[in-house]
Structure formats: C-alpha cells, structure tokens
Structure 1
C-alpha cells in the first residue's frame, strides 16, 4: 500500500465517515459543513485515492489553537499514519502560530503518548477540560 499525505481539509463525507469508524463522536451533516469551514489547517492521508486518515487545526489564528479530529481508519492503524498527520499539523503550527500561542487538544486513551513526544503535557490539576453537547451527547462511532 502506498500512502500520500496531503495538506487539505477532508470532504464532509470523509470527515463524517472517519470520525465514525475511528470511534469518535458522530457529527451531523450541518455541523460538519459548518465546522470544516473553520479549519485553519488540515492534513489527510490517501491510500489509493481514498482518505484513510485526517487531522485538523482550528482556532482564532493568533492566541488559541486546538488540534482536533485525529482519526485513522482501523484497518490502517499501526502504520504511523497518525504520527505523520500530527507531525504535519505541528509543522504548520510552528511555522504559522505566534510565539505566545496556546495549543490544546483532548488526548483520547494512549494517544497521549504520541502527543507527549511533541511536548504536550497534562494541565491538571491547575485546569480541567469541560464540555457540553448542544442537543445531547452524540453517539460514538461503531
């Protein structure tokens, strides 16, 4: 298999599919369409023309950035694709974000080990992440 990393925002269909198959919360068509327009930078990995991995940077473009939507199709996991996506996002941040920028992310499970290699550290107990879902907590992907 040949993998190709591209700096581009995933399509709405690929975004929704990858979130679901990777076990992330599902997003409605409307939410995905609106949300993807707010992407500051994104990277995808293609395998034979099909998007099999993604990650995005969102934020205000100056003070605050967040890494979101890190997802790899299960059958392509364990091949370093998440690392390649994350490296591309971090390269972009180091080239484009000002020195005082705050970059955050939510680390699911063992992904925290990858993020720690790039200098991310837990913020507890000084801070704790909190969330609210409009319309109720969405279902996780299958």
Structure 2
C-alpha cells in the first residue's frame, strides 16, 4: 500500500459527499454539507495518489464541547491503517488545542469502537448514555 499523505484542510462539498458514500456512510444534502463543513474546527484529509481516500473532522463550540465526526475511509482503503493515521492527527490536535475541562465525544457506529478505543476513547456507560434525537419531518401547526 502507498503511504497516504495527510493534509489539514476542509474538503470541498463534492469530495466530502463522495468520501461519505464510498465509505458506506449516508450522504448529506449539498446545503447541509456546506453549512456543516463551514462550521468545522479541524479537518484532516488522507490522499493516496493525489485522490482523497479519507477524512475526519472535529466540530463543536470551540471551548466546552467538541465532537469527532465524519471519520471516513473509502471501502477500498479500509483496514490499511488510514483510520489510525486520521485519529492520531485528531487526538494530537485535541491534546494541543482543547482545555482539559472540555467534553470531547463521538458516536461509534458498528465496529468502529475498536478504532476509537485504540486512541484513548472510552465507553461512557454506565455513567452516561449516548442518545440521538430521531428527527421526524413534520409540519408544525
């Protein structure tokens, strides 16, 4: 495998959406992707042969709350260590830029918790439980 090149940059909307799809993640609508990417605190992209094959982002309020999201590696490059390189870059950024009192979180889908625990993340249960708000698009009355 070619060693990937990591670049600290926010992906453009098309690259962001492609990486999510090719990693097996749900797509995001272009307006949502544009707004979300603009609010990124830190992003890193992985390139192999000049093609983006992975990404990871940190979002949050910049002081008290930080969340890791969009850790994505295209299917053809998964299990090659790119996810570890991306997470190492994120955790170094967090260590250098985030106050110790801040809350750093992520949601681990499927078996991704194996990657995250290798980078120091712990399960929050039973002290706390991760929860989601399942949006229901309905007309307000």
- TM-score, L = length of structure 2: 0.90
Q: Does 1:15 align with 2:16?
A: yes
SS where residue 124 of structure 2 aligns?
coil
TM superposition shift of 1:2 = 4.3
TM superposition shift of 1:130 = 2.0
Q: Does 1:38 align with 2:34?
A: no
1:18-76 C-alpha deviation (Å, 9 max, x unpaired): 11121212200000000000000010011121110000000111111000000001111
Is the Cα–Cα contact under 8 Å of residues 47 and 54 in structure 2 kept in the other structure?
yes
TM superposition shift of 1:121 = 1.1
Q: Does 1:121 align with 2:116?
A: no
TM superposition shift of 1:102 = 0.9
What is the 5 A alignment of 1:29-108? 29-108=30-109
- TM-score, L = length of structure 1: 0.89
Cα distance in 1 for residues equivalent to 2:87 and 2:11: 15
Structure 2: stretches of 5+ with no match in the other structure: none
Structure 1: stretches of 5+ with no match in the other structure: 137-142
Structure 1 stretch displaced more, 104-113 or 57-66? 104-113
Which of 1 and 2 has greater Rg?
A: 2
Cα distance in 2 for residues equivalent to 1:133 and 1:19: 20
Cα RMSD (Å) of the superposition? 1.4
Larger relative contact order (C-alpha < 8 A, sep ≥ 6)?
1
